[in-house]
């Protein structure tokens, strides 16, 4: 079981973007916003590639521009990951904000002993799991809203797709609903592994690092999860 959060560490229900802003760089260019492109000051030769672990090490030394760069790079993937875990857009955004607050608070203890994404998603996974455990009895039934954007296309599913007839659109909606429902029903670790593998495009080694498993154990975990999904979704395959 992942570590439980203390009351002071849990996400505040009223936390909005202003909660993150107090941790944003004070040294950012005047007039810059969270969505603006970020440029790091680099001493390396032009064209040199800096990996995220090195950027986080710069955050550790007080480089606030580096911290803003990581927020810009991972904010959308993190919201997407959290949304697939909690199925609630507002809570997903709050949890994503909390991840970045924890990244900032942990900057001084950060050590680049693993890929930055492994460390980041370990923080995110612990938060998501703790939230799910704390709210499992309050969680609404999984349903497909006609206003909810489809995760693959970004379009609302009631928007007509000229490439599909009415029957095909209904079948597609039913298939998406079935996939979401059965992924939600997987055991906790299998569900996390599938979300990271299928939707976050993480490889076995990255997932193993986040879940603190061996690569072979991770492959076995995913194999069992996909076998379960194939069986449950055989009518749609």
> Tell me: the pLDDT tens digits for 35-94?
333 455 544 544 556 889 999 999 999 999 999 999 999 999 999 999 988 888 999 999
Q: Whole-model pTM? A: 0.64
Residue 132 dihedral angles phi and psi, to the nearest 5°: -60, -40
Q: Which CATH number fits domain 1-140: 2.30.29.30, 3.40.1280.10, 1.10.1740.10, 1.20.120.160?
A: 1.10.1740.10
Q: Is the pLDDT of residue 157 over 90?
A: no
State the DSSP code for 199.
I
User: Does the pLDDT of residue 5 top 70, yes or no?
Assistant: no
Model confidence at 175: pLDDT above 70: yes
pLDDT, mean of residues 198-219: 92
At 24, is the pLDDT very low, low, confident or very high (cuts 50, 70, 90)?
Answer: very low
pLDDT classification of 162: cutoffs 50, 70, 90: low
pLDDT tens for 97-130 read 999 999 999 999 998 887 899 999 999 999 998 8
For residues 198 and 175, the model is more confident at 198
Report the pLDDT value the prediction gives residue 40, as an integer from 0 to 100. 54
Report residue 23's pLDDT band, with 50, 70 and 90 as the boundaries.
Answer: very low
pLDDT tier at 209, thresholds 50, 70, 90: very high
pLDDT at 142 over 50: no
Residues 6 or more apart whose CB falls under 8 angstroms from that of 110 comprise 56, 57, 59, 60, 119
Closest CA to 16 of 34, 32, 38: 34
Res 79: pLDDT: 94
pLDDT band at 205 (very low <50, low <70, confident <90, very high): very high
């Amino acid at each position: 079981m992942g570590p439980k959060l203390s009351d002071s560490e849990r996400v505040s229900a009223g936390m909005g973007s202003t909660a993150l802003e107090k941790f944003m760089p004070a040294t950012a260019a005047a007039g810059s916003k969270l969505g603006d492109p970020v440029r790091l000051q680099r001493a390396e030769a032009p064209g040199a590639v800096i990996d995220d672990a090195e950027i986080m090490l710069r955050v550790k030394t007080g480089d606030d521009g580096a911290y803003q760069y990581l927020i810009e790079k991972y904010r959308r993937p993190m919201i997407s990951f959290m949304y697939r875990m909690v199925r609630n857009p507002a809570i997903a955004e709050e949890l994503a904000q909390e991840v970045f607050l924890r990244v900032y608070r942990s900057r001084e203890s950060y050590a680049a002993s693993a890929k930055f994404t492994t460390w980041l998603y370990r923080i995110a996974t612990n938060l998501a799991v703790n939230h799910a455990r704390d709210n499992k009895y309050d969680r609404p039934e999984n349903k497909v809203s006609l206003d909810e954007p489809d995760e693959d296309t970004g379009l609302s599913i009631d928007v007509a797709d000229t490439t599909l007839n009415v029957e095909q659109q209904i079948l597609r909606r039913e298939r998406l609903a079935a996939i979401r429902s059965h992924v939600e029903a997987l055991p906790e670790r299998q569900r996390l592994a599938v979300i990271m593998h299928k939707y976050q495009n993480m490889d076995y080694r990255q997932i193993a690092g986040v879940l603190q498993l061996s690569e072979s154990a991770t492959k076995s975990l995913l194999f069992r999860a996909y076998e379960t999904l194939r069986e449950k979704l055989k009518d749609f395959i």
